[in-house]
Amino acid sequence: MKMFDLNNKVAIVTGGNRGLGKTIALSLAEAGADIVLIGRSEKLNQEAAREIEALGKKAIYFSVDLLNISSINEMVEKVLDTFGKIDILVNNAGTSLTKLAFDITEEEWDQVIDLNLKSLFFCCQAVGRKMAQQNYGKIINVSSVVGAVGDVGITPYTASKAAVINLTRSLALEWARYGIHVNAIGPAYIKTDMNAEQLENPKVLDKIVGKTPMRRLGQPSELCGALILLASEASSFITGETIYVDGGWLAQ
């Protein structure tokens, strides 16, 4: 359908060279968008770019320190130098920490909050300024089902993802006047590079699957429907929302 078509759109995907981010980048390319990959590994950036180019779309990549605001701003200017515009931003980069709350250090807390929340905001800010000048833009923040409900052993992560949900609402309210849509996706547990080791523990896996009404983990590709909806004109009257892709987790 034409309303889901992303041809002639330019999309930035942070953490887009592997795992869930790579699936997101490829999905956007399949829908027609040219892609800007943000990732630290040159090798993984090149591999992901080749897969996007094999789909007939343009792909460029940058190794950006997302904890450095100047680096984010420089990246945005380079994207504009190449494409002249930015239509879509997907804030996917993030990290987690499995540790009980009594044992978390200040450094560990800051590591998770700074990448999952602070860098996400400043990516929104840098790209949002350009989108406001265009009077158009789609920003999609990757939150989590545990941003809506708590969980044990990942306190900084749950806190950061809850903040992303409300940050999404606030930016949507501020930037609607500029034609910028700001939404989020909240997946339940999906096996990725970040949580693969945790999910190899049978007790952990059984607990998660047991709490999921569909009795399985999600697949990265299962986020793509919500992603393309929020990135395309099909969501022209949707902003400030979080779409949960959670196998029924929050219906309980």
Q: Do 187 and 145 form a contact (C-beta atoms < 8 A)?
A: yes
- Which residue in the list 61, 157, 189, 244 is annotated as catalytic? 157
Do you know the residue count of the chain? 252
CA neighbor of 97 nearest in space, from 85, 89, 105: 105
Nearest-angstrom CA–CA distance, 124 and 139: 7
Q: Do 101 and 133 form a contact (C-beta atoms < 8 A)?
A: no
- Which regions of the chain does DSSP assign to beta strands (E)? 10-14, 34-38, 59-62, 88-91, 137-142, 180-187, 242-245
Burial-class residue 148 by CB neighbours within 10 Å (0-12, 13-18, 19+): middle
The residue assigned the tokens 């929302």 is 241
Return the structure tokens found at 75.
Answer: 């990246």
Amino acid at 171: L
Nearest-angstrom CA–CA distance, 7 and 186: 26
Return the structure tokens found at 199.
Answer: 């999910």
Nearest-angstrom CA–CA distance, 166 and 234: 23
| Residue 157 falls in the annotated catalytic set | yes
Nearest-angstrom CA–CA distance, 115 and 110: 8
Residues noted as catalytic: 157
